Amino acid sequence: MKIKDIFAKKTVFSFEVFPPKNNSAIDVIYHTLDDLGDLKPDFISVTFSAGGSGNSGLALDIAAKIREKGITPVLHLPCINYTKEQIDETLELAKAQGIENILALRGDINPDITPVEDFKHASDLITYLKRKGNFDIAGACYPEGHPDSDTLEEDIENLKIKVDAGADHLITQLFFDNEYFYKFREMTAAKGINVPIEAGIMPVVNKKQIERMVTTCGASLPRKFVKIMQKYENNPEALRDAGIAYAINQIVDLAANDVDGIHLYTMNNAYVARKISEAVTGIIEV
Ligand code: FAD
């Protein structure tokens, strides 16, 4: 099933998983996929290492497993550190597994790796994918602007290039303040970007995640989010429940404002995905 056809029918609700860093954890992710599959998301996407670290070989296996469970997989495909030949190889493997949905990405620039630059931007990969087969193509977008762009306006100019190259729909970077998303949606519409935009929601449910948010994530942390994290950071269960509640609140507000879709960054946590799904399924379907 092509994801663009799902958007034509309903508000999309999807999950994202990542391959474990080592093969010993493979059983754990397969078990997680069983649980996530039971929640019947519209698709599950699988991250792919941009090169240098991570376990990209497993991404295809995981995507195939998702498909076996009757759920549509989306394979992330970063291009900056890969040659055309390597991308071709991955596409052939993907086709052989029946994968027809790709999230085309540049990948983060790693200071320890000299980029291959067969593809400089995600839009170059999208142009290439259009020639390579009949894939449904998603792209990434950034409600608060990509850190490489000087301004949000400049980033949206570049996003238009990505969409014009053939991105069928977009998935946002995580954000904790819906107002950024609404402003972004207005600005993209004004630029003539008319493809569906799924909102990326990350439930923050443990202390490690909070620390990562504060140091590496470019997303603004609204006062109410910071207060919750400060209050519960030393009480794991309360923090988990508060993080779930925060994500549910964001989703309810987005649904009320006619969002095209919700993409849940599950962090491979099926318990959290279940709690959120149970709370919002009826709200999203209405
Ligand atoms: P691009 O679209 O190429 O944009 C990067 C920068 O270049 C931006 O500043 C943009 O404005 C500018 N730009 C874009 N096109 C042009 C152009 N034609 N001319 C001039 N400037 C241009 N990374 C991974 O490694 N693996 C993953 O699985 C992964 N999954 C992700 C999933 C989502 C939903 C998101 C939001 C991000 C994901 N990332 C992943 C991270 C992503 O690779 C990084 O954010 C990366 O820095 C940018 O990727 P991009 O595809 O948005 O790049």
CATH of the domain at 144: 3.20.20.220
- Best residue for ligand 1 mutational test, from 3, 105, 157 (most atoms within 8 Å of Cβ): 105
In this structure, what token pair is assigned to residue 271? 């318990």
* pLDDT score for 31: 96
Interior angle at CA 268, CA 180 and CA 54, nearest 5: 90
What atom of ligand 1 comes closest to residue 109's alpha carbon?
47
* pLDDT score for 25: 83
* pLDDT score for 216: 79
Lowest-confidence pick of 83-87, 125-129, 282-286? 282-286
* pLDDT score for 285: 78
* pLDDT score for 243: 97
Distance from the alpha carbon of residue 72 to the mean position of ligand 1, in angstroms: 23
This prediction's pTM: 0.97
Would residue 259 count as lying in a domain?
A: yes
- Angstrom distance (rounded) from CA 38 to CA 185: 32
In this structure, what token pair is assigned to residue 223? 């006062």
Interior angle at CA 49, CA 251 and CA 124, nearest 5: 85
- Percentage with pLDDT > 90 across the chain: 86
Q: Taking residues 183-196, what's their average pLDDT?
A: 98
Distance from the alpha carbon of residue 257 to the mean position of ligand 1, in angstroms: 26
CA distances (Å), origin 109, targets 62, 112, 129, 199, 266: 25, 9, 21, 24, 24
Nearest protein Cα to ligand 1, atom 29: 47
Rg (CA), the chain: 18
Contacts of 52 (CB under 8 A, 6+ apart): 81, 110, 112, 113
Nearest protein Cα to ligand 1, atom 49: 106
Would residue 286 count as lying in a domain?
A: no
What atom of ligand 1 comes closest to residue 157's alpha carbon?
11
- Best residue for ligand 1 mutational test, from 146, 172, 174, 198 (most atoms within 8 Å of Cβ): 146
What interhelical angle do 56-68 and 84-96 show, nearest 10?
Answer: 20
Confidence check: pLDDT of 53 > 90: no
Pocket around ligand 1: residues whose beta carbon is below 6 Å from it?
Answer: 47-48, 50, 76, 78, 103, 105-108, 121-123, 140, 146, 148-149, 155, 158, 161-162, 171, 173, 200
| Dihedral angle sign, alpha carbons of residues 28, 205, 221, 169 | positive
Nearest protein Cα to ligand 1, atom 27: 47
Distance from the alpha carbon of residue 196 to the mean position of ligand 1, in angstroms: 18
CA distances (Å), origin 130, targets 6, 68, 89, 126, 138: 20, 26, 16, 6, 12
DSSP summary character for residue 237:
H
Q: Taking residues 237-244, what's their average pLDDT?
A: 97
Q: How many domains, the chain?
A: 1
- Angstrom distance (rounded) from CA 122 to CA 137: 11
- Angstrom distance (rounded) from CA 222 to CA 252: 17
Q: Are 99 and 66 in contact (CB under 8 A)?
A: no
Given the residues 16, 100, 144, 198, select the one marked as catalytic: 16
DSSP summary character for residue 134:
-
237 is catalytic: no
DSSP summary character for residue 221:
-
- Best residue for ligand 1 mutational test, from 45, 77, 116, 121 (most atoms within 8 Å of Cβ): 121
- Angstrom distance (rounded) from CA 188 to CA 180: 12
- Angstrom distance (rounded) from CA 152 to CA 150: 7
Range of the domain at 73: 3-280
Confidence check: pLDDT of 75 > 70: yes
If we measure between CA atoms, which residue out of 133, 54, 58 comes closest to residue 92?
133
* pLDDT score for 55: 57
Would residue 285 count as lying in a domain?
A: no
Please report which confidence band the pLDDT of residue 22 belongs to, taking 50, 70 and 90 as the band edges.
confident
- List of E strands, the chain: 12-17, 43-46, 72-78, 101-105, 136-141, 169-172, 197-201, 261-265
Confidence check: pLDDT of 56 > 70: no
